[in-house]
Amino acid sequence: MSNIILEARNISKVFTDPVQMNVLNDISFSVGKGEFVSVVGKSGCGKSTLLYILSTMDTDYQGELWIDDQKVTGQREQQLAAIRNEKIGFVFQFHYLLNEFTVLENITLPGRKLGKLSTQVLEDRAMKLLRTLGIEHLYNKKANRISGGEKQRVAIARALINEPQIIMGDEPTGNLDKKNSEIVFEIFQQLSQEFNQSLLIVTHDPEFAARTSRVIEMEDGKILRQ
């Protein structure tokens, strides 16, 4: 088994509306196991677009995407959903927690969808994650009753519940203040160093990027440096 978790091969994407425009131009790179990669670049350089292609949610592109030695490009919607469920964890700028559920239920939801472990085991695992993230006292609260920084940490726990191959983040600290950003970054770093977790984070915060193990710089749909 190779050490590469995610590999992009010559990925391009063209917007035709309103005018033809190359958003992504022949992007190729790979992420290895345990790497903490950040993608930086100016607003509109295509870094988020790239992330959504890598996350399998956007299927409208040219080139090939491989995740965990499996070709993802061209798979059907249902298989893509299964891949996202099992192999990718997401943290977005906005937390996207379900307000109808408690913190614990929000975290276990992707795990219950995967269906490999019983709800009891999932809840134990979710509690352990909450403890690692320092918010175990919140487990029984409804998701709309906790603060913004706490929500983002819950979202991280949710991303981790299925022990994914890679965590993807789209500006995960973009909505947070200095202190909470710091906490989130430390969590990521801890995941990378202690649990050998691969991470791919899109950010426009140069400070954040500078502290990751590898930085991919993008401009006008191309990779400048990696």
- For another protein, the binding residues (CB under 8 A) are 48, 52, 55, 57-58, 77-78, 81-82, 84-86, 90, 92-94, 96-101, 109-110, 112-115, 158, 170
- What is the closest distance, in whole angstroms, from the C-beta atom of residue 193 to another protein in the complex? 25
Could you give the strand order of the β-sheet that contains 36-41, starting from the edge strand earlier in sequence? 88-91, 166-170, 198-202, 36-41, 214-219, 222-225
Closer residue to another protein in complex, CB, 60/194: 60
- Residues 195, 115: Cα–Cα separation, whole Å: 23
Helical H segments across 92-200, by residue range? 103-114, 119-132, 148-160, 178-194
Among residues 91 and 183, whose Cβ is nearest to another protein?
Answer: 91
| CB of residue 114 to another protein, shortest distance in Å | 7
Smallest distance, another protein to C-beta of residue 225, A: 25
DSSP 136: G
Helical H runs in 11-118?
Answer: 47-54, 77-87, 103-114
- The three-class DSSP label of residue 170 is strand
Interstrand relation of 214-219 and 222-225 (parallel, antiparallel or unpaired): antiparallel
CB of 49 to another protein, least distance (A): 8
Task: Kindly report the length of the chain.
Answer: 226
Judged by beta carbon, residue 15 or residue 189, the one nearer another protein is 15
- Nearest to another protein of 4, 80 (CB atom): 80
Amino acid sitting at position 179:
K
Q: How far is the CB of 211 from another protein (least distance, A)?
A: 25
Q: How far is the CB of 90 from another protein (least distance, A)?
A: 5
Q: Which is nearer to another protein, 42 or 186 (CB)?
A: 42
Of 55 and 132, nearer to another protein (C-beta) is: 55
* Residue 39 tokens, joined: 């993608």
**CA atoms within a 13 Å half-sphere pointing along the CA-CB vector of 220:** 1
